[in-house]
Structure 1
Amino acid sequence: MKVLINEKERVVDKASVYELRDEFKKNADIVILNGFPIKDDINVQEGDRICFIKKGEMPKKEELEALMASRHTPKVHETLKRGKVAIAGAGGLGSNVAISLARIGVGHIKVIDFDVVEPSNLNRQQYYIKHIGMKKVYALKEILTEINPFIEVEVLDLKVEKDNIKDIFNGFDIVVEAFDNAVYKALLVGEILKNFKKTKIISASGMAGFYSNNIIYTKKINDRLYICGDRIHEAGINEGLMAPRVGIVANHEANTVLRLLLNEIEV
Protein backbone atom coordinates (compact mmCIF):
# COMPACT_ATOMS: atom_id res chain seq x y z
CA MET A 1 0.00 0.00 0.00
CA LYS A 2 1.00 3.62 -0.54
CA VAL A 3 1.64 6.00 2.34
CA LEU A 4 3.41 9.32 2.73
CA ILE A 5 6.39 9.35 5.09
CA ASN A 6 7.71 12.86 5.72
CA GLU A 7 5.75 13.75 2.56
CA LYS A 8 7.54 11.24 0.36
CA GLU A 9 5.36 8.53 -1.17
CA ARG A 10 6.39 5.04 -0.10
CA VAL A 11 5.05 1.62 -0.95
CA VAL A 12 5.05 -0.51 2.19
CA ASP A 13 3.82 -3.90 3.25
CA LYS A 14 1.17 -4.06 5.94
CA ALA A 15 2.86 -2.59 8.98
CA SER A 16 2.43 -0.51 12.09
CA VAL A 17 3.53 3.11 12.44
CA TYR A 18 6.26 2.20 14.91
CA GLU A 19 7.61 -0.50 12.60
CA LEU A 20 7.94 2.15 9.90
CA ARG A 21 9.61 4.49 12.40
CA ASP A 22 12.19 1.82 13.16
CA GLU A 23 12.82 1.41 9.43
CA PHE A 24 12.90 5.05 8.30
CA LYS A 25 13.91 7.13 11.37
CA LYS A 26 14.60 5.01 14.40
CA ASN A 27 15.67 7.96 16.58
CA ALA A 28 12.42 9.93 16.05
CA ASP A 29 10.97 11.41 19.26
CA ILE A 30 7.71 12.57 17.68
CA VAL A 31 5.46 10.45 15.50
CA ILE A 32 2.59 12.26 13.79
CA LEU A 33 -0.17 10.31 12.06
CA ASN A 34 -2.61 12.26 9.89
CA GLY A 35 -2.02 15.47 11.83
CA PHE A 36 -1.97 14.05 15.36
CA PRO A 37 1.00 12.96 17.51
CA ILE A 38 0.46 9.37 18.63
CA LYS A 39 1.68 7.73 21.82
CA ASP A 40 0.62 4.17 21.02
CA ASP A 41 1.35 2.07 17.96
CA ILE A 42 -1.32 1.90 15.24
CA ASN A 43 -1.60 -0.16 12.08
CA VAL A 44 -1.01 1.81 8.90
CA GLN A 45 -3.82 2.33 6.39
CA GLU A 46 -3.69 3.15 2.67
CA GLY A 47 -3.03 6.86 2.12
CA ASP A 48 -1.88 7.63 5.69
CA ARG A 49 0.45 10.59 6.22
CA ILE A 50 3.17 9.89 8.75
CA CYS A 51 5.87 12.24 9.97
CA PHE A 52 8.87 11.24 12.04
CA ILE A 53 10.63 14.09 13.86
CA LYS A 54 13.76 14.13 16.00
CA LYS A 55 13.56 16.93 18.56
CA GLY A 56 16.28 19.55 18.17
CA GLU A 57 17.36 18.29 14.77
CA MET A 58 17.29 20.66 11.80
CA PRO A 59 15.57 18.72 9.02
CA LYS A 60 16.74 18.70 5.44
CA LYS A 61 15.40 21.57 3.36
CA GLU A 62 13.32 19.20 1.23
CA GLU A 63 11.60 17.89 4.37
CA LEU A 64 11.16 21.12 6.27
CA GLU A 65 7.93 22.38 4.69
CA ALA A 66 6.24 19.01 5.15
CA LEU A 67 7.28 18.81 8.78
CA MET A 68 6.10 22.36 9.43
CA ALA A 69 2.66 21.38 8.13
CA SER A 70 2.60 17.94 9.74
CA ARG A 71 0.04 18.98 12.36
CA HIS A 72 -2.42 20.10 9.66
CA THR A 73 -5.46 18.03 8.87
CA PRO A 74 -4.50 15.88 5.83
CA LYS A 75 -4.89 17.55 2.41
CA VAL A 76 -5.44 21.00 3.96
CA HIS A 77 -1.90 22.19 3.22
CA GLU A 78 -2.25 21.68 -0.53
CA THR A 79 -5.33 23.89 -0.61
CA LEU A 80 -3.78 26.62 1.54
CA LYS A 81 -0.66 26.60 -0.62
CA ARG A 82 -2.81 27.73 -3.56
CA GLY A 83 -4.46 30.53 -1.55
CA LYS A 84 -3.95 34.22 -2.36
CA VAL A 85 -4.76 36.64 0.45
CA ALA A 86 -4.22 40.40 0.59
CA ILE A 87 -4.03 42.21 3.93
CA ALA A 88 -4.77 45.94 3.93
CA GLY A 89 -2.90 47.33 6.94
CA ALA A 90 0.12 46.02 8.85
CA GLY A 91 -0.72 47.19 12.37
CA GLY A 92 -2.26 45.32 15.28
CA LEU A 93 -4.72 43.43 13.14
CA GLY A 94 -2.71 43.05 9.97
CA SER A 95 0.57 41.93 11.51
CA ASN A 96 -1.20 39.33 13.66
CA VAL A 97 -3.30 38.04 10.76
CA ALA A 98 -0.25 37.81 8.51
CA ILE A 99 1.70 35.76 11.02
CA SER A 100 -1.15 33.30 11.52
CA LEU A 101 -1.58 32.88 7.76
CA ALA A 102 2.17 32.39 7.27
CA ARG A 103 2.24 29.73 9.97
CA ILE A 104 -0.55 27.73 8.33
CA GLY A 105 1.13 28.02 4.92
CA VAL A 106 -1.11 30.29 2.84
CA GLY A 107 0.89 30.34 -0.38
CA HIS A 108 0.70 34.01 -1.39
CA ILE A 109 0.31 36.82 1.13
CA LYS A 110 0.28 40.46 0.07
CA VAL A 111 0.53 43.20 2.71
CA ILE A 112 -0.17 46.87 2.01
CA ASP A 113 0.72 49.71 4.39
CA PHE A 114 2.62 53.00 4.29
CA ASP A 115 3.43 53.51 7.99
CA VAL A 116 6.61 52.99 10.01
CA VAL A 117 7.08 51.04 13.24
CA GLU A 118 7.12 53.29 16.32
CA PRO A 119 7.32 52.52 20.05
CA SER A 120 3.59 52.65 20.81
CA ASN A 121 3.02 49.89 18.23
CA LEU A 122 4.92 47.36 20.30
CA ASN A 123 2.14 46.79 22.85
CA ARG A 124 0.04 44.85 20.30
CA GLN A 125 1.77 44.61 16.92
CA GLN A 126 4.13 41.84 15.87
CA TYR A 127 7.29 43.91 15.66
CA TYR A 128 10.46 44.18 17.73
CA ILE A 129 12.47 47.09 19.11
CA LYS A 130 14.97 46.62 16.28
CA HIS A 131 12.19 47.47 13.80
CA ILE A 132 11.49 50.97 15.19
CA GLY A 133 11.77 53.47 12.34
CA MET A 134 11.50 50.74 9.70
CA LYS A 135 8.62 50.60 7.24
CA LYS A 136 6.06 48.16 8.58
CA VAL A 137 5.68 46.17 5.38
CA TYR A 138 9.41 45.47 5.12
CA ALA A 139 9.71 44.59 8.80
CA LEU A 140 6.74 42.24 8.48
CA LYS A 141 8.12 40.61 5.35
CA GLU A 142 11.35 39.91 7.24
CA ILE A 143 9.39 38.26 10.07
CA LEU A 144 7.12 36.22 7.77
CA THR A 145 10.05 34.93 5.75
CA GLU A 146 11.77 33.76 8.92
CA ILE A 147 8.58 31.96 9.97
CA ASN A 148 7.88 30.29 6.64
CA PRO A 149 10.34 30.50 3.73
CA PHE A 150 8.06 28.40 1.52
CA ILE A 151 5.41 31.06 0.92
CA GLU A 152 5.42 34.11 -1.33
CA VAL A 153 5.27 37.38 0.59
CA GLU A 154 4.53 40.47 -1.47
CA VAL A 155 4.50 43.93 0.13
CA LEU A 156 3.49 47.39 -1.04
CA ASP A 157 4.65 50.51 0.78
CA LEU A 158 1.78 52.81 -0.15
CA LYS A 159 -1.53 54.19 1.04
CA VAL A 160 -4.69 52.49 -0.16
CA GLU A 161 -6.90 55.01 -1.96
CA LYS A 162 -10.03 54.69 -4.07
CA ASP A 163 -8.11 55.05 -7.33
CA ASN A 164 -5.56 52.28 -6.64
CA ILE A 165 -7.77 49.60 -5.08
CA LYS A 166 -8.45 47.81 -8.38
CA ASP A 167 -4.75 47.48 -9.16
CA ILE A 168 -3.72 46.44 -5.65
CA PHE A 169 -6.29 43.74 -4.99
CA ASN A 170 -6.96 42.27 -8.42
CA GLY A 171 -6.62 38.49 -8.50
CA PHE A 172 -6.90 37.78 -4.77
CA ASP A 173 -9.27 35.22 -3.29
CA ILE A 174 -9.72 37.08 -0.02
CA VAL A 175 -8.99 40.60 1.23
CA VAL A 176 -8.51 41.20 4.95
CA GLU A 177 -9.39 44.74 6.04
CA ALA A 178 -7.04 45.67 8.88
CA PHE A 179 -7.29 49.46 9.04
CA ASP A 180 -7.79 51.60 12.12
CA ASN A 181 -9.70 54.34 10.27
CA ALA A 182 -13.46 53.93 9.86
CA VAL A 183 -13.58 55.94 6.63
CA TYR A 184 -10.96 53.76 4.96
CA LYS A 185 -12.57 50.59 6.30
CA ALA A 186 -15.84 51.53 4.60
CA LEU A 187 -14.06 52.63 1.43
CA LEU A 188 -12.14 49.38 1.05
CA VAL A 189 -15.11 47.13 1.82
CA GLY A 190 -17.35 49.00 -0.61
CA GLU A 191 -14.82 49.02 -3.44
CA ILE A 192 -13.98 45.34 -3.09
CA LEU A 193 -17.66 44.35 -3.11
CA LYS A 194 -18.32 46.57 -6.13
CA ASN A 195 -15.30 45.75 -8.28
CA PHE A 196 -14.45 42.11 -7.57
CA LYS A 197 -17.42 39.80 -7.87
CA LYS A 198 -15.72 36.69 -6.51
CA THR A 199 -13.37 38.16 -3.91
CA LYS A 200 -14.43 37.78 -0.28
CA ILE A 201 -13.59 40.43 2.31
CA ILE A 202 -13.13 40.11 6.05
CA SER A 203 -13.43 43.26 8.13
CA ALA A 204 -13.09 44.05 11.85
CA SER A 205 -15.11 46.19 14.24
CA GLY A 206 -14.70 46.51 18.00
CA MET A 207 -11.54 45.32 19.74
CA ALA A 208 -10.51 48.07 22.17
CA GLY A 209 -10.07 47.84 25.94
CA PHE A 210 -9.99 44.74 28.11
CA TYR A 211 -13.62 43.66 27.94
CA SER A 212 -14.74 40.04 27.93
CA ASN A 213 -13.26 37.65 25.40
CA ASN A 214 -16.66 36.12 24.89
CA ILE A 215 -18.37 39.09 23.29
CA ILE A 216 -16.00 38.91 20.30
CA TYR A 217 -17.55 37.00 17.43
CA THR A 218 -17.57 36.59 13.65
CA LYS A 219 -20.71 37.51 11.70
CA LYS A 220 -21.44 36.61 8.11
CA ILE A 221 -23.08 39.65 6.51
CA ASN A 222 -23.52 38.04 3.10
CA ASP A 223 -21.73 35.47 0.94
CA ARG A 224 -18.76 37.81 0.44
CA LEU A 225 -18.49 39.93 3.60
CA TYR A 226 -17.59 38.82 7.13
CA ILE A 227 -17.07 41.06 10.18
CA CYS A 228 -15.05 40.10 13.27
CA GLY A 229 -15.05 41.83 16.68
CA ASP A 230 -17.58 42.85 19.30
CA ARG A 231 -18.86 45.67 17.03
CA ILE A 232 -19.10 47.99 20.05
CA HIS A 233 -15.75 48.91 21.57
CA GLU A 234 -13.85 50.99 19.03
CA ALA A 235 -10.55 52.64 19.91
CA GLY A 236 -10.76 56.21 21.23
CA ILE A 237 -9.95 58.40 24.22
CA ASN A 238 -10.10 56.16 27.32
CA GLU A 239 -10.49 53.15 24.98
CA GLY A 240 -6.97 51.89 24.28
CA LEU A 241 -5.84 48.98 22.14
CA MET A 242 -4.06 46.09 23.85
CA ALA A 243 -2.50 42.91 22.53
CA PRO A 244 -4.92 40.28 23.89
CA ARG A 245 -8.16 41.62 22.41
CA VAL A 246 -6.52 42.80 19.20
CA GLY A 247 -5.00 39.34 18.85
CA ILE A 248 -8.34 37.62 19.44
CA VAL A 249 -10.01 39.68 16.71
CA ALA A 250 -7.07 39.23 14.35
CA ASN A 251 -7.25 35.48 14.75
CA HIS A 252 -11.00 35.53 14.17
CA GLU A 253 -10.08 37.14 10.85
CA ALA A 254 -7.30 34.62 10.18
CA ASN A 255 -9.52 31.65 11.02
CA THR A 256 -12.23 33.04 8.74
CA VAL A 257 -9.62 33.22 5.95
CA LEU A 258 -8.72 29.59 6.65
CA ARG A 259 -12.34 28.47 6.54
CA LEU A 260 -13.09 30.34 3.33
CA LEU A 261 -10.03 28.92 1.57
CA LEU A 262 -11.33 25.49 2.54
CA ASN A 263 -14.82 26.40 1.20
CA GLU A 264 -16.36 26.52 4.66
CA ILE A 265 -18.55 29.57 4.15
CA GLU A 266 -20.52 29.56 7.41
CA VAL A 267 -19.04 31.22 10.51
Structure 2
Amino acid sequence: MNYHFYIVGVGGTGSLLARDMPKLLIGSNCEMTLIDGDIVEGKNMKRQSYQTQDIGENKAIALSKKINTFYGTNCYAIDRYITESDFFEVIQKESRIPVIVGCVDNDATRKVCEKVVKRLKQCIYIDSANSEYSGDIYICVKSNKEIKGALRGKTYKLKKDKHPNELSCQEQASKGNVQFLITNNKMACVLLEHIHLLLINQLKVGVTNVERLKTVHY
Protein backbone atom coordinates (compact mmCIF):
# COMPACT_ATOMS: atom_id res chain seq x y z
CA MET A 1 0.00 0.00 0.00
CA ASN A 2 1.10 3.56 -0.68
CA TYR A 3 0.66 5.83 2.32
CA HIS A 4 1.27 9.51 2.97
CA PHE A 5 2.10 10.09 6.63
CA TYR A 6 1.18 13.45 8.15
CA ILE A 7 2.97 13.97 11.46
CA VAL A 8 1.10 16.75 13.22
CA GLY A 9 3.42 18.30 15.79
CA VAL A 10 7.17 17.69 15.73
CA GLY A 11 8.07 18.54 19.30
CA GLY A 12 8.97 16.11 22.09
CA THR A 13 7.40 12.96 20.64
CA GLY A 14 6.81 13.98 17.02
CA SER A 15 10.39 15.01 16.29
CA LEU A 16 11.76 11.73 17.67
CA LEU A 17 9.23 9.79 15.59
CA ALA A 18 10.02 11.79 12.45
CA ARG A 19 13.75 11.30 12.97
CA ASP A 20 13.52 7.49 12.86
CA MET A 21 10.43 6.80 10.74
CA PRO A 22 12.19 7.29 7.36
CA LYS A 23 14.14 4.09 8.07
CA LEU A 24 10.86 2.19 7.88
CA LEU A 25 9.99 3.84 4.57
CA ILE A 26 13.22 3.12 2.69
CA GLY A 27 12.38 1.25 -0.51
CA SER A 28 8.67 2.05 -0.30
CA ASN A 29 6.54 4.50 -2.25
CA CYS A 30 5.36 6.18 0.92
CA GLU A 31 5.86 9.87 1.65
CA MET A 32 5.68 11.98 4.78
CA THR A 33 4.81 15.54 5.71
CA LEU A 34 5.76 17.27 8.96
CA ILE A 35 3.35 19.90 10.28
CA ASP A 36 4.22 22.45 12.95
CA GLY A 37 4.18 26.22 13.35
CA ASP A 38 6.72 26.24 16.21
CA ILE A 39 10.21 27.69 15.99
CA VAL A 40 13.23 25.78 17.33
CA GLU A 41 14.46 27.21 20.65
CA GLY A 42 17.46 26.49 22.82
CA LYS A 43 15.28 24.70 25.39
CA ASN A 44 14.35 22.11 22.74
CA MET A 45 17.88 20.72 22.53
CA LYS A 46 17.48 18.31 25.46
CA ARG A 47 14.51 16.21 24.34
CA GLN A 48 13.81 17.00 20.68
CA SER A 49 15.56 16.11 17.41
CA TYR A 50 17.20 19.46 16.77
CA GLN A 51 20.68 20.91 16.97
CA THR A 52 21.90 24.37 17.91
CA GLN A 53 22.19 25.38 14.24
CA ASP A 54 18.41 24.90 13.93
CA ILE A 55 17.57 27.54 16.54
CA GLY A 56 15.35 30.21 15.04
CA GLU A 57 14.14 28.01 12.17
CA ASN A 58 10.70 26.45 11.84
CA LYS A 59 10.67 22.93 13.32
CA ALA A 60 8.96 21.21 10.39
CA ILE A 61 11.29 22.79 7.85
CA ALA A 62 14.47 22.15 9.87
CA LEU A 63 13.64 18.48 10.44
CA SER A 64 12.39 17.75 6.92
CA LYS A 65 15.67 19.08 5.47
CA LYS A 66 17.65 16.70 7.67
CA ILE A 67 15.46 13.74 6.71
CA ASN A 68 15.74 14.44 2.99
CA THR A 69 19.50 14.83 3.29
CA PHE A 70 20.10 11.65 5.31
CA TYR A 71 17.59 9.29 3.71
CA GLY A 72 16.52 10.73 0.37
CA THR A 73 12.94 10.27 1.55
CA ASN A 74 10.19 12.46 0.12
CA CYS A 75 9.59 14.47 3.29
CA TYR A 76 7.65 17.72 3.05
CA ALA A 77 7.00 20.47 5.57
CA ILE A 78 4.01 22.64 6.45
CA ASP A 79 5.35 25.46 8.59
CA ARG A 80 2.09 26.57 10.20
CA TYR A 81 -0.50 25.40 12.70
CA ILE A 82 -3.19 23.59 10.75
CA THR A 83 -6.88 24.41 10.65
CA GLU A 84 -9.59 22.00 9.61
CA SER A 85 -10.14 23.57 6.19
CA ASP A 86 -6.52 23.81 5.09
CA PHE A 87 -5.58 20.37 6.45
CA PHE A 88 -8.52 18.75 4.65
CA GLU A 89 -7.57 20.59 1.46
CA VAL A 90 -3.96 19.41 1.69
CA ILE A 91 -4.99 15.77 2.16
CA GLN A 92 -7.59 15.89 -0.59
CA LYS A 93 -4.85 16.66 -3.13
CA GLU A 94 -2.99 13.45 -2.25
CA SER A 95 -3.63 10.17 -4.09
CA ARG A 96 -2.02 8.01 -1.41
CA ILE A 97 -3.91 6.75 1.64
CA PRO A 98 -3.55 9.42 4.34
CA VAL A 99 -2.15 8.40 7.72
CA ILE A 100 -2.53 11.19 10.29
CA VAL A 101 -0.18 10.80 13.24
CA GLY A 102 -1.05 13.25 16.00
CA CYS A 103 1.78 14.23 18.35
CA VAL A 104 0.37 17.48 19.73
CA ASP A 105 0.01 18.84 23.24
CA ASN A 106 -3.41 20.46 22.88
CA ASP A 107 -6.95 19.19 22.36
CA ALA A 108 -7.85 22.04 20.00
CA THR A 109 -5.58 20.53 17.34
CA ARG A 110 -6.86 17.03 18.17
CA LYS A 111 -10.36 18.29 17.41
CA VAL A 112 -9.09 19.57 14.05
CA CYS A 113 -7.63 16.15 13.24
CA GLU A 114 -10.78 14.29 14.30
CA LYS A 115 -12.98 16.59 12.20
CA VAL A 116 -10.76 15.94 9.18
CA VAL A 117 -10.93 12.18 9.80
CA LYS A 118 -14.73 12.37 9.84
CA ARG A 119 -14.74 14.24 6.51
CA LEU A 120 -12.40 11.83 4.73
CA LYS A 121 -13.70 8.70 3.04
CA GLN A 122 -10.57 6.72 3.87
CA CYS A 123 -7.71 7.30 6.31
CA ILE A 124 -5.82 6.02 9.33
CA TYR A 125 -5.54 8.12 12.47
CA ILE A 126 -2.98 7.44 15.19
CA ASP A 127 -3.19 9.92 18.07
CA SER A 128 -0.53 10.11 20.76
CA ALA A 129 -0.74 11.97 24.07
CA ASN A 130 1.40 11.83 27.17
CA SER A 131 1.99 13.40 30.54
CA GLU A 132 5.25 13.45 32.44
CA TYR A 133 5.51 9.70 33.01
CA SER A 134 2.81 7.98 30.96
CA GLY A 135 0.69 8.25 27.83
CA ASP A 136 -1.67 6.54 25.45
CA ILE A 137 -2.14 6.07 21.71
CA TYR A 138 -5.52 5.81 19.99
CA ILE A 139 -5.59 4.00 16.64
CA CYS A 140 -8.51 3.96 14.23
CA VAL A 141 -9.04 3.07 10.57
CA LYS A 142 -11.67 4.65 8.34
CA SER A 143 -12.73 2.81 5.21
CA ASN A 144 -15.89 3.33 3.15
CA LYS A 145 -16.87 6.02 5.67
CA GLU A 146 -16.89 3.48 8.54
CA ILE A 147 -14.55 4.05 11.49
CA LYS A 148 -13.06 1.02 13.25
CA GLY A 149 -11.11 1.52 16.44
CA ALA A 150 -10.98 4.37 18.90
CA LEU A 151 -11.28 8.12 18.47
CA ARG A 152 -10.10 9.97 21.55
CA GLY A 153 -12.99 12.43 21.32
CA LYS A 154 -15.47 9.54 21.45
CA THR A 155 -13.90 8.20 24.64
CA TYR A 156 -13.88 11.39 26.70
CA LYS A 157 -14.62 15.06 26.24
CA LEU A 158 -11.69 16.94 24.76
CA LYS A 159 -10.72 20.17 26.51
CA LYS A 160 -11.81 23.55 25.20
CA ASP A 161 -8.26 24.87 25.06
CA LYS A 162 -6.96 27.40 22.57
CA HIS A 163 -5.78 26.44 19.10
CA PRO A 164 -2.07 27.37 18.70
CA ASN A 165 -3.11 30.07 16.22
CA GLU A 166 -5.03 31.77 19.03
CA LEU A 167 -2.15 31.87 21.52
CA SER A 168 -0.20 35.07 22.07
CA CYS A 169 3.59 35.04 21.93
CA GLN A 170 3.66 35.22 25.71
CA GLU A 171 1.28 32.26 26.04
CA GLN A 172 3.36 30.26 23.57
CA ALA A 173 6.52 30.95 25.55
CA SER A 174 4.91 29.97 28.85
CA LYS A 175 3.72 26.54 27.71
CA GLY A 176 5.01 23.83 30.02
CA ASN A 177 7.94 21.57 29.19
CA VAL A 178 7.05 18.78 31.62
CA GLN A 179 7.55 15.63 29.56
CA PHE A 180 10.67 13.66 30.32
CA LEU A 181 12.93 12.63 27.47
CA ILE A 182 12.39 8.98 28.40
CA THR A 183 8.60 9.27 28.12
CA ASN A 184 8.80 10.99 24.74
CA ASN A 185 11.19 8.32 23.47
CA LYS A 186 8.88 5.55 24.66
CA MET A 187 5.88 7.16 22.96
CA ALA A 188 7.83 7.62 19.72
CA CYS A 189 9.02 3.99 19.86
CA VAL A 190 5.47 2.64 20.31
CA LEU A 191 4.27 4.86 17.45
CA LEU A 192 7.04 3.41 15.28
CA GLU A 193 5.85 -0.08 16.15
CA HIS A 194 2.28 0.73 15.12
CA ILE A 195 3.51 2.25 11.85
CA HIS A 196 5.61 -0.85 11.18
CA LEU A 197 2.54 -3.02 11.74
CA LEU A 198 0.62 -0.85 9.30
CA LEU A 199 3.32 -1.26 6.66
CA ILE A 200 3.17 -5.06 6.97
CA ASN A 201 -0.67 -5.07 7.01
CA GLN A 202 -0.95 -6.06 10.67
CA LEU A 203 -2.15 -2.79 12.22
CA LYS A 204 -4.07 -3.22 15.48
CA VAL A 205 -6.85 -0.71 16.12
CA GLY A 206 -7.71 0.27 19.68
CA VAL A 207 -5.76 1.92 22.49
CA THR A 208 -2.21 1.41 23.71
CA ASN A 209 -1.39 2.52 27.26
CA VAL A 210 2.23 3.39 27.94
CA GLU A 211 3.37 3.55 31.56
CA ARG A 212 6.66 3.25 33.40
CA LEU A 213 8.11 -0.16 32.51
CA LYS A 214 4.77 -1.24 31.04
CA THR A 215 2.99 -1.13 27.65
CA VAL A 216 -0.49 -2.61 27.11
CA HIS A 217 -2.70 -2.61 24.00
CA TYR A 218 -6.40 -3.38 24.16
Asked if TM exceeds 0.5, the reply is yes
Gaps of 5+ in 2: 141-146, 157-173, 205-216
Query: How far apart are the structure 2 equivalents of 1:109 and 1:101?
Result: 9
1:142 aligns with 2:80: no
Gaps of 5+ in 1: 1-78
Report the residue type matching 1:122 in the other structure: M
The 5 Å alignment of 1:102-141 reads 102-105=22-25, 107-141=30-64
Q: How many pairs were matched up?
A: 173
Is the partner of 1:260 in helix, strand or coil? helix
Partner of 1:19: none
Partner of 2:13: 93
Query: How far apart are the structure 1 equivalents of 2:187 and 2:199?
Result: 19
The 5 Å alignment of 1:13-162 reads 82-105=2-25, 107-149=30-72, 151-162=73-84
- The alpha-carbon distance between structure 1 residues 244 and 162, as it changes in their structure 2 partners (threshold 3 A), is same
Q: Rg: which structure is higher?
A: 1
Query: How far apart are the structure 2 equivalents of 1:122 and 1:95?
Result: 11
Contact kept in structure 1, 2:124 and 2:139, CA below 8 Å: no
The 5 Å alignment of 1:181-192 reads 181-188=106-113, 190-192=114-116
RMSD over aligned CA atoms reads 2.7
* Stretches (4+) displaced over 3 A: 215-222, 224-227, 236-239
Contact kept in structure 1, 2:100 and 2:124, CA below 8 Å: yes
- Give aligned-pair identity as a percent: 19
Deviation at residue 216 of structure 1 after TM alignment:
5.1
Report the residue type matching 1:109 in the other structure: M
Report the residue type matching 1:181 in the other structure: N
Contact kept in structure 1, 2:126 and 2:139, CA below 8 Å: no
Contact kept in structure 2, 1:85 and 1:173, CA below 8 Å: yes
Deviation at residue 102 of structure 1 after TM alignment:
0.8
Contact kept in structure 1, 2:126 and 2:138, CA below 8 Å: no
Partner of 1:252: 190
Query: How far apart are the structure 2 equivalents of 1:238 and 1:140?
Result: 22
Deviation at residue 163 of structure 1 after TM alignment:
2.0
Deviation at residue 181 of structure 1 after TM alignment:
1.2
Query: How far apart are the structure 2 equivalents of 1:90 and 1:238?
Result: 16
Query: How far apart are the structure 1 equivalents of 2:39 and 2:81?
Result: 12
Deviation at residue 144 of structure 1 after TM alignment:
0.7
Is the partner of 2:48 in helix, strand or coil? coil
Contact kept in structure 2, 1:202 and 1:225, CA below 8 Å: no
**What's the TM-score once normalised by structure 1's chain length?**
0.57
Query: How far apart are the structure 2 equivalents of 1:205 and 1:258?
Result: 19
**What's the TM-score once normalised by structure 2's chain length?**
0.69
Deviation at residue 88 of structure 1 after TM alignment:
1.0
Kindly indicate whether structure 1 or structure 2 has the higher relative contact order, using CA contacts under 8 Å at least 6 residues apart.
2
Contact kept in structure 2, 1:169 and 1:175, CA below 8 Å: no
Partner of 2:118: 194
